Structure 1
């Protein structure tokens, strides 16, 4: 289809918005009590994996997560020769880990997947003790920085808000930085999720990784940009005959892929990061920046964890890395010394 000249030119004057660009600183049942889903003589790992896979699909787990389970559990079985769930021991797990010629970080990732499989076996009543809890691999944690207000402002100052793609990308950056949502949630946002009257996103569980509903507020500047983007989206969709109500679409009005390698927005953020020398302009860094901003403004970790949609508060603490001097200074202020 031939693109009409000027279709990507934003039809609404957004020049007056540029001056507003600055961002404000301001109890589970015991396993023995559960009815096993497999008979005592058929607790083969292959059967267990089949049952757990079905459970995960019903629960709405992503295909990628399910495939990781299958891949690593089958690899464990091939390496160790263990056939039954009840024959899995700490020794067989260590045997499996020792067989890998990969980094400790990769081993840890695979171990976590096997542990998750074993935890589901325990929940189904096929294993009596969580013997794998003490098995771990030491990995030097690299500190992942969050995006800063300065970096976000620099990027916004370099983008042309009169161009649809730049406008879309700018709004995407601000949404992630100011609400902390994941990019997979971002590309599923629809107009029904945005309450422009009350400046809040009403996110239902269907687009959230943890499947839990949450409400996330946003400021007036982001509200104005969202209004402009929604109107421009309508222009794009009319031109190409598309009928979705998504907030973030391609220049042809189509759905943006969830895949990191095919996600238009993620690829463009990577490009901006390289071209403009902004190392923390990426989806994870923007979420971390959101978390750090909340912490600096006095929010407690429990609230931050809820806002980020984390199921485990320990994950949140990794987002809020504090160096030793910062910890000492904070302790002094609390202890009045």
Structure 2
């Protein structure tokens, strides 16, 4: 007997308002043409689908007062774990209206303040504790590699064996966020562990084999590795997998790396994103002085 499959939120919206199917397709094409990620597309379409289901009509047919009432209710929802649902809805609707050339409706939506939370960073002792926690070599390699190269979760699962260049001591990260390639240094401390791991694994293409349909590891799997091994430590900070990337960036700044080079290593499109780490890095303070004082050495000779 065939099991009944429940409709997704997007499918329900299409059944309720058939015209939404055309809008969703148009939205998908625009996201692809702009080179934005699949997760961005899914977030936008899902939010707009929820909006369509609520009003039982397309967003362009909903008046401003009704939109504001809906958004206020969403922002005040006690069941929402954070304001993320509200924010995603505003971003999705703004994108939708601009796509249809309805800029007035897009501008009328509430403006959103950027979060000012500083990234949580692990200190060196905490990192050593975390890296010694895994019993499986694979898990230890995953965690240390992320920190050693400042990788995003998606970048880790996309790494192929051929992207690790042991001779040139670099890692080639391909088509990451913003559809950009970049090269980052391969830590000499990682080489022994990586070679030992590769000799024990039967990897043919992907650096980390997993249960995804194409044989890759999953980002959820990476997060699980982080969570489970974190439990074995005494680290009390509220951290996640991305905290390893934050720690990488902060520690490089503290070791004297300039902000422009760090931006390139992290693959940021805008240097303002990288500058958040200046607020958490404990960099050595230099006493204000005139550059003339050091032009001819440590100090100037007094003139008569």
Whether the aligned pair in 2 keeps the contact of 1:249 and 1:255 (CA below 8 Å) is: yes
Unaligned runs of 5+ in 2: 1-18, 291-304
- Paired with 2:130 and 2:139, the residues of 1 have a C-alpha distance of 10
Tell me the equivalent position of 1:7.
none
Q: Structure 1 residue aligned with 2:226, among 269, 272, 284?
A: 269
| Superposition map of 1:49-128 within 5 A | 49-57=24-32, 61-79=36-54, 83=58, 85=60, 89=64, 91-100=65-74, 101-102=76-77, 106-119=82-95, 121-122=97-98, 124=99, 126-128=101-103
Q: Structure 1 residue aligned with 2:143, among 173, 192, 199?
A: 173
- Paired with 1:55 and 1:107, the residues of 2 have a C-alpha distance of 26
Whether the aligned pair in 2 keeps the contact of 1:80 and 1:92 (CA below 8 Å) is: no
Aligned length: 266
Tell me the equivalent position of 2:235.
278
SS in 2 for 1:299: coil
Q: Pick closer, same or farther for the CA change 1:118–1:200 going to 2, 3 Å.
A: same
Tell me the equivalent position of 1:151.
126
SS in 1 for 2:83: helix
Tell me the equivalent position of 1:13.
none
Q: Pick closer, same or farther for the CA change 1:49–1:249 going to 2, 3 Å.
A: closer
Following TM superposition, by how much is the alpha carbon of 1:276 offset from its aligned partner in structure 2, in angstroms? 1.6
Whether the aligned pair in 2 keeps the contact of 1:291 and 1:320 (CA below 8 Å) is: no
RMSD over aligned CA atoms reads 3.6
Following TM superposition, by how much is the alpha carbon of 1:71 offset from its aligned partner in structure 2, in angstroms? 1.9
Tell me the equivalent position of 1:246.
206
- Paired with 1:282 and 1:117, the residues of 2 have a C-alpha distance of 30
SS in 1 for 2:158: coil
Whether the aligned pair in 2 keeps the contact of 1:201 and 1:217 (CA below 8 Å) is: yes
Whether the aligned pair in 2 keeps the contact of 1:181 and 1:308 (CA below 8 Å) is: yes
Q: Pick closer, same or farther for the CA change 1:259–1:203 going to 2, 3 Å.
A: closer
Unaligned runs of 5+ in 1: 1-43, 161-165, 238-242
- Paired with 1:54 and 1:184, the residues of 2 have a C-alpha distance of 22
Q: Structure 1 residue aligned with 2:254, among 272, 292, 296?
A: 296
Whether the aligned pair in 2 keeps the contact of 1:82 and 1:88 (CA below 8 Å) is: no
**Scaled by the length of structure 2, what TM-score is found?**
0.71
SS in 1 for 2:82: helix
- Paired with 2:120 and 2:256, the residues of 1 have a C-alpha distance of 19
| 1:121-160 Cα deviation digits (max 9, x unpaired) | 43x4613455157622687x55441222221212334455
- Paired with 1:321 and 1:151, the residues of 2 have a C-alpha distance of 20
- Paired with 1:270 and 1:62, the residues of 2 have a C-alpha distance of 26
Q: Structure 2 residue aligned with 1:198, among 159, 168, 172?
A: 168
Tell me the equivalent position of 1:20.
none
Q: Does 1:221 align with 2:189?
A: yes
